[in-house]
Amino acid sequence: MTKEPGGKCGTSNKAVVAWVDEMSKHCKPDRIYWCDGSKAERKALTAEAVEKGVLIKLNQKKLPGCYYHRSNPNDVARVEQSTFICTESQDEAGPTNNWMAPKEMYQKLRAFTEGSMRGRTMYVIPYLMGPPGSPLAKVGIELTDSIYVALSMGTMTRMGEIALEELGTSDDFNRGLHCMLDVNPERRYIAHFPKDNAIISVGSNYGGNVLLGKKCLALRIGSYLGRQEGWFAEHMLVLGVESPAGEKTYVAAAFPSACGKTNFAMMMPPPHLKGWKIWTIGDDIAWMKPGPDGRLYAINPEAGYFGVVPGTNSKSNPAAVEMISRDTIFTNVALTPDLDVWWEGKDGPPPKECLDWKGNKWTPASAEKAAHPNSRFTAPMANNPLLAPEVNDPMGVPIRAIIFGGRRSNTTPLIYQAFNWVHGVYLGATMGSEMTAAAVGGAGQVRRDPMAMLPFCGYHMGDYFRHWINMHKTIKHPPRIFNVNWFRKNGQGEFLWPGFGENMRVLKWIVDRCHARTDAEETPLGWVPGPGSLDLTGLTNFSPERLEQAQAIHEEEWRRELMMQDELFMKLHARLPKELIFQRELLLARL
Ligand code: GTP
Ligand code: SPV
Ligand code: MN
């Protein structure tokens, strides 16, 4: 075993060195490469990835610093059926998670990973989740035999020396092992051991399955730790809204995978609301903790965005278009003959001919999509023109509003506000959403996705609701809670609400509600904008009747909805807080 020049161990932390040693003896890589996170290292690793054919260098005139990657076609999204929470008892993981006893899972995966890095390099990736010095920040170390993962973690996290510095001599770090094996769905496991603060991921090389800081640590292990330590780890974007007067209001929003978080976090207000400005704190994950002043403070643990590419254009998300024009890795989009990238919904006409995400010849006459619906960009947050300067504040930002929102073609209105905290928890807990391409299988079907955390909660969902209810006592000035649905359709199958930048109009109402300067009307579901209080000035092709349709509450749809909520409640009943059952009964009585 040799250590490469430039990839030497740069830490004297005994726990880190001992663990890496133990794992390397087990996985038996030919080489160990310790990542330091430097620019020179990134350059060298990128060149190596190009040489190995893992990355294709894109047209550097058009896309400086950009590279192209194709994943195995059997490995294009998160796989929920292969994701396990390995707590001591099955009851602790709850009925919404796959479970295996830790001992059994360790044994199974030890057999898979033993000697699995022979002939390969083991990259040691120390990474920091959160701004340095933040009381909420956590350190992880991921060991991987994927150079693509090493490069992606370099963008998505604060990676290298900075993490080891934060760790110091402590042994409190997440231990993550990732082995690609033969990228075979039959031997694909994403296993979490919350008690050991450990993760083992095998048989994949894609996104949330393998970038272990993201869903595995920041959400599944994070939610488990958050409950113990009194904070929240949530699948939420965080943004700052700046009013024309310069007042900044911070908002967090939980939408399920591929339901609009990145777009909302980087929103460009419409011309009529020109004086308003959005600043991005994060686009996918929020860690939130009550501060000494009684407000709820949030940080973004990540340092980059792993965002959905299709549909990204200068109308839907101009800031993202600018952001991904440099220093970006594109995964599973289409590749044009002049080494540019293309996807469905990109600006301009489709190329006459290109290679699709699988590398097959594609023309506009082809039946299949050129880019995979879950194709993604990996881009550093520093390139986001709307990045909030406060993103590196160790204390985080105070949250005034929490928004829940699913993808629903019917039933759920565009916007309504919870009556109070427990009612808000009920709205989040009973969220339903149509499944998307971000996870394998089931796209389009409505399922319950409480707080957009169904695939990401590291313990019993009933206990998770209890944690949400209990936290209220520790937050003197709790955020107001809202529910949105950008995806309601009319009889012709068209979206009723234009969405994207126009969502600023809804957000403005939310912010105004938080500052008690706009009115609302009571409905059985909650508070809705009073007549004229949702600003629709300058919105073309949008009649007041259309808003009425978007806001309509149909009793028969809601009776069906309550039945579907009941299915979830029955599943969780042993640990379901009574408060939520009362909320459901109250709603039933109001309808
Ligand atoms: P993850 O990264 O999987 O967690 O997704 P996300 O929640 O960040 O979703 P994202 O913003 O990437 O949007 C996913 C899809 O929804 C894209 O195809 C968008 O074009 C579409 N979308 C986003 N916002 C809106 C909206 O306001 N209206 C409509 N109709 N579509 C939207
Ligand atoms: C999601 O599915 O919610 C994502 C993409 O953000 S992944 O990182 O693959 O989980
Ligand atoms: Mn996500």
Residue nearest (by alpha carbon) to ligand 2 atom 4: 257
Banded model confidence at residue 578, pLDDT cuts 50, 70, 90: very high
Mutate to test the pocket of ligand 1, among 209, 266, 308, 454 (most ligand atoms within 8 A of CB): 308
For range 531-537, the mean pLDDT: 93
Residue 438 CA, closest ligand 1 atom number:
3
String of DSSP letters for 442-467? -TT-EEE-GGG-TTT-SS-HHHHHHH
8 A C-beta contact, residue 232 and residue 381: no
Pairing of strands 248-254, 237-242: antiparallel
User: Whole-angstrom Cα distance, residue 550 to residue 453?
Assistant: 26
* 190: β partners: 83, 201
Mean pLDDT of 259-273: 97
Per residue in 275-334, pLDDT (tens digit) is: 999 999 999 999 999 999 999 999 999 999 999 999 999 999 999 999 999 999 999 999
- Report how far ligand 2's centroid is from the alpha carbon of 207 (Å): 6
Query: What is the spatial distance between Cα 174 and Cα 193, in angstroms, rounded to a whole number?
Result: 10
Mean of pLDDT values over 399-416: 98
| Active-site annotation holder among 35, 66, 179, 259 | 259
Is there a catalytic annotation at residue 259? yes
> Can you give the pTM of this predicted structure?
0.98
Helix (H) or strand (E) holding 504: helix 503-514
pLDDT at 2: 42
Q: Which amino acid, residue 31?
A: R
pLDDT (mean) for 414-430: 98
- Kindly indicate the confidence band of residue 3, based on its pLDDT and cuts at 50, 70 and 90: very low
Q: DSSP alpha helices (H): ranges in 174-323?
A: 222-229, 261-265, 318-323
The reported pLDDT for the residue numbered 5 is 56
Mean pLDDT, to the nearest integer, of 45-62? 98
Report CA(512)–ligand 1 centroid distance (Å). Answer: 24
Q: Atom 14 of ligand 1 has which residue's CA nearest to it?
A: 258
In this predicted model, what pLDDT tens digit does every residue of 425-474 receive, in sequence order? 999 999 999 999 999 999 999 999 999 999 999 999 999 999 999 999 99
Q: What is the band of 541 on the pLDDT scale with cuts at 50, 70, 90? A: confident
Cβ-based neighbours of 360, under 8 Å, separated by 6 or more: none
Residue 142 · residue 178 · CB < 8 Å: yes
For residue range 166-180, what is the model confidence (pLDDT) as tens digits? 999 999 999 999 999
Tell me which residue has its CA closest to atom 7 in ligand 2. 208
Q: What is the mean pLDDT of residues 58-75?
A: 98
- Residue 43 C-beta-side C-alpha neighbours within 13 Å: 5
Ligand 2 atom closest to the CA of 215, numbered from 1: 10
The confidence band for 194, taking pLDDT boundaries of 50, 70 and 90, is: very high
472-486 per-position pLDDT tens digit: 999 999 999 999 999
Residue % of the chain over a pLDDT of 70: 99
Whether the CA torsion 108, 114, 118, 122 is positive or negative: it is positive
Mean pLDDT estimate for the chain:
97
- In this predicted structure, the answer to whether residue 373 has a pLDDT above a threshold of 90 is yes
pLDDT over 80 (residue 4): no
More confident: 572 or 10: 572
CA angle 272, 275, 277 (to 5 degrees): 110
**Atom 5, ligand 2: residue with shortest CA distance:** 208
Which of 259, 283, 317, 433 gets mutated to test ligand 1 (max ligand atoms within 8 A of its CB)? 259
Atom of ligand 1 nearest to the CA of 500: 27
Residue with tokens 């594109």: 330
Ligand nearest 152 Cα, by number? 2
- Let me know the angle formed at the C-alpha of 586 by 582 and 589, rounded to the nearest 5 degrees: 140
Residues with CB under 5 A from ligand 3 (ion): 257, 284
pLDDT at residue 6 tops 80 = no
User: Using 50, 70 and 90 to split pLDDT, how confident is the model at 1?
Assistant: very low
Burial (CB count <10 Å: 0-12, 13-18, 19+), residue 338: exposed
In this structure, the residue with its CA closest to atom 3 of ligand 2 is 257
Of 80, 215, 302, 440, the one to substitute when testing ligand 2's pocket (max ligand atoms within 8 A of C-beta) is 215
